[in-house]
Amino acid sequence: MDKVLFHLAFPVADIAKTKEFYGEGLGCHIGRESPSAVILNLYGNQLVAHLTKDPLTPQKTIYPRHFGLIFHAQADWEALLQRAEQQNLTFRETPKRRFPGSPLEHRTFFLEDPFYNLLEFKYYCHPEAIFGQAELTSVGDRV
């Protein structure tokens, strides 16, 4: 099978602020744009930010809704982390290690865009934990 791309559509309240956060902040390439939507290339995946007039409110915690990327190389994860820090993006959760010393160990941080959408970026120390390790029952943090 040829490479498959991920597509995600999400709500925003301002196209210019969207382009600033995702384009200048995260380094996404800005694609097609209309008065009510903009296409963003996030590491080869298609995000579509759709303008909404509905009220956008923050989640109390990082669960249940967030999206993001899993990096195969720790250096790439660290490069995005450094970019986020240099661009003064809003960290919802600062970088940390989850499940240290276990087969599920990974590094993670969460960003919050100007419209309360949460983005998680991960690097797994053991790549088989991305989809495997079914015998282990830990998923995310306790809520």
pLDDT at 142: 64
Specify the pLDDT at position 70: 97
Q: Mean per-residue pLDDT for 122-134?
A: 89
What was the pLDDT predicted at 140? 73
Residue with more model confidence, 142 or 24: 24
Identify whether the C-beta of residue 24 lies closer than 8 Å to the C-beta of residue 127: no
- Residue 51 structure tokens: 């303008």
pLDDT exceeds cutoff 60 at 143: no
Residue 30 has pLDDT above 70, yes or no: yes
Q: What is the pLDDT of residues 76-111, one digit of tens each?
A: 999 999 999 999 999 999 999 999 999 999 999 999
Q: Specify the length of the chain in residues.
A: 143
pTM score: 0.92
CB neighbours of 25 closer than 8 A, spacing ≥ 6? Answer: 83, 84, 87, 89
Using a pLDDT cut of 70, give the percent of the chain over it.
97
